[in-house]
Structure 1
């Protein structure tokens, strides 16, 4: 049964890769196989495990999944409202000229993704940046190129603050790095993104036309946008000073948004219910996350991830951390990081900084390796596993340069 479960998990990831060939939505296949492996675990328990033990394992995984789901739901509802009201699009139109070169546009996208994901979390930053990208109506091939840049830049920016990436928060809470150490990751993150940007800017500098229809932004929409920004900032501050889970702050912000919408539209009896905006959420993304996390959870319960610390016995710490980053493109970086933290591996602060960067950015190498990539694949029609793979050499180069920069910075500080 152990090998049957492993085979089903491998099959699930293969079906994600060949989605364009089999024409079966990846959310459907991952949810089917993700629930199937747990059903089989209950029906054919291994190594003397009983239903109570398996139920406990499932509950632990469902708690992690529910936290992510609720966070995604809250962030997506904000973005769905702002998108439907055209506020994000209007901000883009006001910030950009009628025409600008591809290189200028790419530079702007990279900087925005880096900065925004440093201030907010990766998921929120991805939703905002991809909404901006979708509004520009680029050609399919250009959309894929820009998506690769956004995914890498979002993940790079997210490693420098504890609210930007879950693994960064895990390593910080374990006492392995300080806030000051994390700030030192910022120049390394910029270096990696600039390298990727340079490789993507080859070729012509054709102009991109930005639609120029502007309209006034309603006052109530400005209020909701301000609440969104305030929720992001509150998430950061409350997490740092009171260790309040980000999902709780975002749900509170969502509740304030609901009440504010009710008050601002009190004189409109035929107004659309604020809950209707939740219907705009792309549940394909949520279902895909659910299936993937169920599969990864089973990998953890099968003790596959327990073999990870052996890497540090087989090769130097710096090389092992680099490899772990590449593995995070295939396996969720949270259980990878948890396995290393629980293994008792001894590392210097500089090496923990390298691991923080590796697990946060390494997932960018494959489209399925990070939340930003999964969201991008669900929102950008032209983006698939295969089309993203075309940029793997450039992404690997950028990841390597960023990792090298962290190693140099960390060891110079030591």
Structure 2
């Protein structure tokens, strides 16, 4: 290994440490990964000058993959930003939730709501909405922490079965490793593991909870845009299954329909232009993905990802995938997934589905292991790394239950199809 390779791997390690220690350094992980990601490629170009054709081609391929992911996320997150800004999501909660319910019922409803909503929206938005539902209840800290843990696990579990719900699922799908109909089989094991965790966390909860309802005016145009969003998700799945349409194309088309419907309903005035809702999406998250994927692309360019193959050489594939899920609670699952895809590991479709579940849900084992955990920790100050870690055994049990069910299901359905 040459001197440049050592330096570049060192930069990648420093970047990942920056992601893990974000709460200590108070430096956004988006800033850290974007800096080291771009710096790495600059060093590659300088080192190979003047013969940079190969590096330039690799960078163009890397940027194309990132653009595909970025455009999809921008479209999906803009839909959710509009509906959230118009308080349509809060209005739906007022309709669906009863005024009074027990703490145990609230635990299962929190898990169910977070699970379903994260299948439709991105994990960050689903987490923000779920946590916003809990904070006004003024629960004791020891009980609030249980619900916070439930939100993190349910959000991560709900997103693994749909490409709209989890970035790692989208990345694995875009790489051609899974198909939408097969991904849907992950829903049942994920849901059962969420129910199992809700049962564990509700032990000892015997109180009652009262919701204070706020009157929200729901307009016809907001309902229309919500319907367009749901229709776009449906068409994304059907279009890919029937005609192999790229999901990014379907979602951008749906976004354009949203803009047109808003315009013809008078939502595009100078004070509130519809295009401004793109500004409300989490650009920190998008920039983080950009930086991480640039780093992973650089590691592939210097052949540093080949070491990942070693784990799959010394362990059975199922065991290796299970461990990678646990590892994703220490290292963000996005770079792990990107690294595995770049390493060109050969696995069956059933094995890729098990990996999809593992890296999607495994990050829940520690609070720093997923975007949902980081967001929840930032919104609930009482939730610290140490307090969350007290629930790690219960989380590991439920993660293992889900992984085992995925193994059984893929063995019965995918492997025999």
Query: Which TM class, normalised by the smaller chain length?
Result: 0.7 to 0.9
Note if contact 1:8-1:37 (Cα within 8 Å) is conserved in structure 2.
yes
CA 1:255–1:389: 2 relative to 1, 3 Å: farther
Aligned residue for 2:7? 4
Aligned residue for 1:272? 272
Aligned residue for 1:321? 321
What is the deviation of 1:261? Answer: 0.9
Aligned residue for 1:51? 52
Aligned residue for 1:404? 404
1:82 maps onto 2:83 in alignment: yes
CA distance in structure 1 between the aligned counterparts of 2:385 and 2:30, rounded to whole angstroms: 14
List gaps (5 residues or longer) in structure 2.
none
Note if contact 2:175-2:341 (Cα within 8 Å) is conserved in structure 1.
no
CA 1:4–1:392: 2 relative to 1, 3 Å: farther
CA distance in structure 2 between the aligned counterparts of 1:271 and 1:317, rounded to whole angstroms: 56
1:25 maps onto 2:23 in alignment: no
Alignment deviations for residues 315-337 of structure 1 (CA, whole Å, 9 cap, x no partner): 23332222233344425354345
What is the deviation of 1:260? Answer: 0.9
Aligned residue for 1:189? 190
CA distance in structure 2 between the aligned counterparts of 1:406 and 1:270, rounded to whole angstroms: 51
2:245 aligned counterpart, secondary structure = coil
CA distance in structure 2 between the aligned counterparts of 1:246 and 1:175, rounded to whole angstroms: 12
Note if contact 2:365-2:392 (Cα within 8 Å) is conserved in structure 1.
yes
CA distance in structure 1 between the aligned counterparts of 2:270 and 2:178, rounded to whole angstroms: 53
CA distance in structure 1 between the aligned counterparts of 2:356 and 2:157, rounded to whole angstroms: 11
What is the deviation of 1:241? Answer: 1.4
Note if contact 1:101-1:206 (Cα within 8 Å) is conserved in structure 2.
yes
Paired residues in the alignment total 405
Is 168-177 or 92-101 further displaced after alignment?
168-177
CA 1:408–1:261: 2 relative to 1, 3 Å: closer
2:101 aligned counterpart, secondary structure = strand
CA distance in structure 2 between the aligned counterparts of 1:176 and 1:29, rounded to whole angstroms: 30
Is 378-387 or 124-133 further displaced after alignment?
378-387
Aligned residue for 1:130? 128
1:15 maps onto 2:13 in alignment: no
CA distance in structure 1 between the aligned counterparts of 2:23 and 2:189, rounded to whole angstroms: 35
1:244 aligned counterpart, secondary structure = coil
What is the deviation of 1:72? Answer: 2.1
CA distance in structure 2 between the aligned counterparts of 1:169 and 1:285, rounded to whole angstroms: 15
Aligned residue for 2:222? 221
CA 1:254–1:367: 2 relative to 1, 3 Å: farther
Alignment deviations for residues 155-195 of structure 1 (CA, whole Å, 9 cap, x no partner): 33344456655665777799977777555433322232223
List gaps (5 residues or longer) in structure 1.
none
What is the deviation of 1:314? Answer: 1.0
Note if contact 1:98-1:210 (Cα within 8 Å) is conserved in structure 2.
yes
Alignment deviations for residues 187-234 of structure 1 (CA, whole Å, 9 cap, x no partner): 322232223223332443444443312133111111121112112212
CA 1:211–1:58: 2 relative to 1, 3 Å: farther
CA 1:261–1:98: 2 relative to 1, 3 Å: same
Note if contact 1:61-1:294 (Cα within 8 Å) is conserved in structure 2.
yes
RMSD: 3.4
Aligned residue for 1:335? 338
Note if contact 2:367-2:388 (Cα within 8 Å) is conserved in structure 1.
yes
1:213 aligned counterpart, secondary structure = coil
Q: Please give the residue correspondences for 1:205-354 in structure 2 after superposition, counting only pairs within 5 Å.
A: 205-265=206-266, 271-329=271-329, 330=331, 331-332=333-334, 333-339=336-342, 342-345=344-347, 351-354=351-354
1:39 aligned counterpart, secondary structure = helix
What is the deviation of 1:21? Answer: 2.2
CA distance in structure 1 between the aligned counterparts of 2:279 and 2:175, rounded to whole angstroms: 39
Alignment deviations for residues 357-388 of structure 1 (CA, whole Å, 9 cap, x no partner): 32433343355655655666777777676665
Aligned residue for 1:157? 158
CA distance in structure 2 between the aligned counterparts of 1:113 and 1:411, rounded to whole angstroms: 28
CA distance in structure 2 between the aligned counterparts of 1:343 and 1:174, rounded to whole angstroms: 12
CA 1:234–1:388: 2 relative to 1, 3 Å: farther
